[in-house]
C-alpha cells in the first residue's frame, strides 16, 4: 500500500476511535444522572472509570505487543472487537439501585453498560501506533503524531457533543448511531492490519540519523506528569459543576481543554510557546487567590469560570509538554502510554475515592495546583539558590501571619481579603522558579484559612453529594447552610426571629406570594418540597399544614434536624415527613396528593436536569390535587431556565408564570421563581400580584429524559447573584 495511504488509514483509525470514546464518555454518565441525583461526583467517578479502562487497554496492548507476533496481535484484537460488538448498543441498566455506595453504583452501571466496547477502543491508539512503527513508513521512527491525531478526534467529539449532539439527538438514537460508527471503526482496524502485513516482521523500526537526540524521562516522572493534570481536571470539573450544573456541557469543556494540551504538546511542531504559558500561569492564578481570600465580590461568576478553565489548560499544558519532551523511542511507546494511563488513573482515583475520605473540604484542588506549579521546568540556579527560593515566600507569609495575629477577630475577613490581593500580585513576582512559586502558592492557601480558623464552621461534612457546612454570621446573628458558593438557607438566631422566612423564601418575595395565595384560598393543607436545605419553608403555610420533604443528601437532613444549627423543623413542623432519596424517584412512589409542590433541589447553583424534564413534571402533576400548583426556584447566576419551563408547560398543557425579584437585604436574597398549574384560573390570584408575568415558550427547548442541553440557556451576563 502506498505510504500516503498507509498514514491516512492509520490516522483515520486512531482518530475515529477517539471520536467514539469521547462521544461515549459524556453520553453514558448523562443517562446515569437521573439515578444519582445530578451530583458533580457522578462525573468525577465516571472519569476515574474511564481512566481505569484506559489503563486496562494500554496494559493489554503492552502485553500483546511485547509477547505476541503480529499475526497473533491482529487475530486477538479482531476477536476482542467482535466480542465487544455483542455488547452494543451501549445499554444503561437500572437494576443496581440497591447499592449502598453511590460510587460503586456508578462504576457497576458504567461497566455493564459500556465497559467492553470502551476497553476495545481504549487499546487502539497505542496498538495501532505500534503497528505503524513497523510498516517501514518514513515517519515510523517517530509515530507520536498519531497520538496527537487521537486527541484531536477526542477534542472534536467533546466540543460537538453539547453543541451539536446533545440538544438535537436523543440518548436512544445516539446509542444506535454510535453502534454504526463502531462498525466503521472495525473496518478501519482491518484496513490497518492489511496495510501493516508486508513488513510486519521487522524486528525494530528503521532508525533516523537526522532525528534530534532524545532524553527519555523516568517512569516515575511520567507518572507524576500524568497524574497531576488528571487530578487537576477532576478538581476543576468539580468546582464548575458544583456552581453551575452537572451535565455534559460543563463536563466536556475542561476535558476538551485537557485533551487540547495533549494535542499541542505531542504535535510535530509546537505552536504554543512554553515561555508564554509559563508567564501566563501566575496571572491566571491571581483571580483564584483573590476569591480564596474572600474576594468573591470582586470577580463575576463567568470571569471566575473562565480563569479556572484557563488555569487548567495552562497547568496541564506545562506538564504534558514536559511529558512529550521526555518520550522514549517507538520501541518503548507501549510502556510510555501505560505509564501515562496509570498516572491518569492515580490522579482520578485520588479525587474520586481518596480525597473525599481524607479531606472535609475540596482540598485536592489546591493541592493539585501546588504540584502543577512545582512541575514547571526546573530553573538553572546557583548551588544555594533554593534557600532564597524558600526564604522569599516564607518572609511574605510571615508578614501576613503577623498582621493577622494582631487583627481583631471581627476584622479578620477584611484584612484577609487585603492580604489576598497582595498575594495575588506577589505570586506573579515569585514565579521565577518552581520551588519559590509552589512554596508561595502553598502558603497562600494555608493563610487563606485564617477566617475559618477564627470562625470555624459550626458543622461541616463531605460525602458523595458534596461539602455541606453550617457557618455562623456574627454581625447578622444568623446560621447559614452552604454548599459550594451558595447558601442553602439561613436562620436568624434571636428567639423572636427564628421563624422568619429568609434567603429565597422571604414573605415579600415570589415564594411569599405563592404561599400567601395558597393559604388565603384554603389550598395549603398538604404541602411537599423536593429539597430540604435548612428547612426554611417548614415555617410557611397555615399552622395545621402537613409538610413532606424529599432530600437526596442525608447530611442535609441531619443538619436541618439539629436544633443547635437550625430549628425551622423543630419549631414549626416537628411531625413533618422527611424522606431521604432522589426527589423524583420518591415522588413517583408517593400515594398521597398535594396542594402545592415546591421544587428547590439545586445543589449549590448546580441544576439537576433530570428533575426538570417533561417526564419529571408528568410525575409531579400526577401527585397534585385538583387545583394544585407547583412553585420552582430557578434562581441562578449562570443559566436562565424560564424558557425551558415555559416550553414544558406548553408541551404538557400547563400554564406557567414567573417573577424575578431583585430586592435583597441582609436576610433576603434576590430570586427567580416559576409557578405552574393545569389551568389559568389556579394562577389568577398570583398573576394579580406585582411582578408576576406569563412565560413565553420556546418549543425547541422542551427537555425530556432522552434529550436536554444547557448550551442555549447560558447567561453570560451578570444575573442573579446568590
pLDDT of res. 163 = 80
DSSP lists the bridge partners of residue 594 as 624
Q: Go through 283-293 and write b for each residue having 16 or more CB atoms within 10 A of its CB, e for each that does not.
A: bbbbbbbbbbb
Q: Which residue has the cell 484506559?
A: 54
pLDDT of res. 3 = 59
Contacts of 162 (CB under 8 A, 6+ apart): 26, 248, 249, 252, 709, 710, 711
Q: Which three three-digit cell numbers place residue 205?
A: 523500526
720 upstream amide cis, omega within 30 of 0: no
pLDDT of res. 91 = 66
Q: Give the three-state DSSP class for 606.
A: strand
Rounded CA gap, 671 and 633, in Å? Answer: 8
pLDDT of res. 181 = 93
How many CB atoms sit inside 10 A of residue 80's CB? 17
pLDDT of res. 207 = 44
Rounded to 5°, the CA angle 272-146-316 comes to 40
Burial of 479 (0-12, 13-18, 19+ CB in 10 A): buried
Q: Which three three-digit cell numbers place residue 576?
A: 413533618
Rounded CA gap, 137 and 146, in Å? Answer: 13
Rounded CA gap, 174 and 255, in Å? Answer: 20
DSSP 212: P
Low-confidence residues of the chain, pLDDT below 70?
1-4, 34-40, 91-100, 136-145, 147, 196-217, 243-249, 294-302, 330, 380-386, 388, 406, 409-414, 417, 430-431, 451, 454, 484-486, 602-607, 638, 698-700, 710-722
| pTM of the entire predicted model | 0.79
Q: How far apart are the first and last CA of the chain?
A: 63
Where would I find the H helices in 432-529? 434-447, 450-454, 510-520
Containing 461, the helix (H) or strand (E) segment is: strand 459-463
DSSP lists the bridge partners of residue 32 as none
Contacts of 194 (CB under 8 A, 6+ apart): 1
pLDDT of res. 36 = 67
Rounded CA gap, 249 and 710, in Å? Answer: 7
Rounded CA gap, 374 and 438, in Å? Answer: 5
Furthest C-alpha separation in the chain = 89
Containing 187, the helix (H) or strand (E) segment is: helix 171-196
Give the CATH number of domain 474-713; options: 3.40.190.10, 3.40.50.880, 3.40.50.150, 3.40.50.970: 3.40.50.150
Burial of 93 (0-12, 13-18, 19+ CB in 10 A): exposed
pLDDT of res. 692 = 95
Containing 261, the helix (H) or strand (E) segment is: helix 248-266
Q: Which three three-digit cell numbers place residue 582?
A: 432522589
Minimal CA–CA distance to 420: which of 537, 536, 286, 522? 286
Total residue length of the chain? 722
Q: Which three three-digit cell numbers place residue 664?
A: 435583597
537 upstream amide cis, omega within 30 of 0: no
- So where are the chain's domains? 3-205+217-266+328-356, 385-454, 474-713
Strand ranges (E), 538-623: 546-551, 577-580, 594-599
Q: Which three three-digit cell numbers place residue 30?
A: 448523562
DSSP 161: I
How many CB atoms sit inside 10 A of residue 561's CB? 18
Burial of 213 (0-12, 13-18, 19+ CB in 10 A): exposed
Q: Which residue has the cell 433530570?
A: 610
Amino acid at each position: 500500500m502506498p505510504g500516503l495511504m498507509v498514514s491516512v488509514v492509520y490516522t483515520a483509525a486512531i482518530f475515529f476511535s477517539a471520536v467514539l470514546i469521547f462521544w461515549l464518555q459524556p453520553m453514558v454518565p448523562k443517562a446515569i444522572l437521573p439515578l444519582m441525583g445530578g451530583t458533580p461526583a457522578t462525573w468525577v467517578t465516571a472519569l476515574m472509570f474511564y481512566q481505569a479502562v484506559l489503563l486496562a487497554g494500554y496494559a493489554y496492548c503492552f502485553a500483546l505487543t511485547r509477547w505476541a507476533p503480529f499475526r497473533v496481535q491482529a487475530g486477538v484484537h479482531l476477536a476482542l472487537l467482535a466480542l465487544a460488538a455483542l455488547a452494543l448498543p451501549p445499554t444503561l441498566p437500572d437494576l443496581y439501585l440497591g447499592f449502598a455506595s453511590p460510587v460503586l453504583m456508578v462504576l457497576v452501571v458504567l461497566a455493564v453498560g459500556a465497559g467492553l466496547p470502551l476497553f476495545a477502543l481504549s487499546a487502539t491508539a497505542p496498538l495501532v501506533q505500534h503497528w505503524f512503527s513497523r510498516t517501514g513508513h518514513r515517519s515510523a521512527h517517530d509515530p507520536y503524531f498519531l497520538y496527537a491525531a487521537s486527541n484531536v478526534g477526542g477534542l472534536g467529539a467533546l466540543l460537538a457533543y453539547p453543541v451539536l449532539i446533545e440538544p438535537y439527538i436523543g440518548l436512544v438514537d445516539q446509542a444506535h448511531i454510535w453502534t454504526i460508527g463502531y462498525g466503521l471503526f472495525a473496518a478501519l482496524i482491518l484496513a490497518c492490519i492489511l496495510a501493516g502485513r508486508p513488513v510486519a516482521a521487522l524486528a525494530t523500526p528503521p532508525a533516523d540519523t537526522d532525528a534530534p537526540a532524545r532524553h527519555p524521562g523516568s517512569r516515575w516522572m511520567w507518572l507524576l506528569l500524568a497524574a497531576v493534570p488528571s487530578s487537576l481536571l477532576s478538581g476543576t470539573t468539580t468546582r464548575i459543576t458544583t456552581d453551575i450544573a452537572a451535565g455534559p456541557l460543563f463536563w466536556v469543556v475542561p476535558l476538551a481543554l485537557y485533551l487540547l494540551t495533549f494535542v499541542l504538546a505531542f504535535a510535530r511542531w509546537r505552536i504554543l510557546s512554553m515561555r508564554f504559558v509559563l508567564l501566563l500561569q501566575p496571572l491566571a492564578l491571581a483571580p483564584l487567590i483573590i476569591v480564596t481570600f474572600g474576594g468573591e465580590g470582586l470577580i463575576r461568576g463567568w470571569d471566575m469560570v473562565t480563569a479556572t478553565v484557563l488555569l487548567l489548560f495552562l497547568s496541564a499544558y506545562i506538564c504534558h509538554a514536559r511529558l512529550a519532551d521526555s518520550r522514549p523511542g517507538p520501541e518503548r511507546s507501549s510502556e510510555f502510554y501505560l505509564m501515562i494511563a496509570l498516572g491518569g488513573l492515580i490522579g482520578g482515583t485520588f479525587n474520586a475515592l481518596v480525597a473525599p475520605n481524607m479531606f472535609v473540604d475540596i482540598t485536592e484542588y489546591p493541592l493539585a495546583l501546588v504540584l502543577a506549579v512545582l512541575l514547571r521546568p526546573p530553573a538553572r540556579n546557583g548551588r544555594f539558590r533554593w534557600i532564597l527560593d524558600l526564604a522569599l515566600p516564607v518572609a511574605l507569609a510571615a508578614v501576613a501571619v503577623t498582621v493577622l495575629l494582631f487583627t481583631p477577630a471581627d476584622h479578620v475577613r477584611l484584612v484577609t481579603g487585603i492580604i489576598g490581593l497582595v498575594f495575588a500580585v506577589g505570586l506573579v513576582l515569585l514565579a521565577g522558579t518552581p520551588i519559590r512559586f509552589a512554596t508561595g502558592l502553598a502558603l497562600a492557601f494555608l493563610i487563606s484559612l485564617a477566617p475559618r480558623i477564627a470562625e470555624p464552621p459550626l458543622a461541616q461534612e463531605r460525602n458523595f453529594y458534596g461539602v455541606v457546612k453550617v457557618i455562623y454570621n456574627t454581625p447578622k446573628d444568623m446560621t447559614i447552610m452552604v454548599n459550594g458558593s451558595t447558601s442553602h438557607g439561613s436562620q436568624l438566631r434571636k428567639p423572636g426571629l427564628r421563624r422568619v422566612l429568609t434567603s429565597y423564601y422571604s414573605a415579600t418575595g415570589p415564594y411569599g406570594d405563592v404561599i400567601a395565595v395558597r393559604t388565603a384560598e384554603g389550598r395549603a393543607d398538604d404541602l411537599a418540597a423536593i429539597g430540604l436545605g435548612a428547612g426554611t419553608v417548614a415555617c410557611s403555610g397555615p399552622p395545621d399544614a402537613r409538610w413532606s420533604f424529599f432530600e437526596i443528601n442525608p447530611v442535609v437532613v441531619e443538619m436541618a434536624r439539629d436544633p443547635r444549627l437550625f430549628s425551622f423543623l423543630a419549631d414549626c413542623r416537628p411531625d413533618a415527613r422527611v424522606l431521604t432519596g432522589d426527589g423524583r424517584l420518591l415522588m413517583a412512589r408517593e400515594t398521597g396528593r398535594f396542594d402545592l409542590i415546591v421544587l428547590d433541589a439545586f445543589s449549590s447553583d448546580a441544576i439537576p436536569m433530570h428533575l426538570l424534564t417533561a417526564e419529571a413534571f408528568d410525575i409531579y402533576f400526577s401527585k397534585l390535587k385538583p387545583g394544585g400548583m407547583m412553585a420552582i426556584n430557578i434562581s441562578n447566576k449562570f443559566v436562565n431556565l424560564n424558557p425551558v419551563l415555559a416550553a414544558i408547560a406548553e408541551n404538557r398543557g400547563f400554564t406557567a408564570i414567573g417573577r424575578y425579584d431583585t430586592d435583597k437585604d441582609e436576610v433576603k436574597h434576590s430570586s427567580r421563581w416559576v409557578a405552574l398549574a393545569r389551568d389559568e384560573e389556579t394562577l389568577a390570584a398570583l398573576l394579580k400580584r406585582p411582578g408576576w408575568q406569563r412565560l413565553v415558550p420556546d418549543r425547541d427547548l422542551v427537555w425530556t429524559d432522552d434529550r436536554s442541553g444547557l448550551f442555549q440557556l447560558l447567561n453570560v451576563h451578570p444575573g442573579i447573584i446568590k
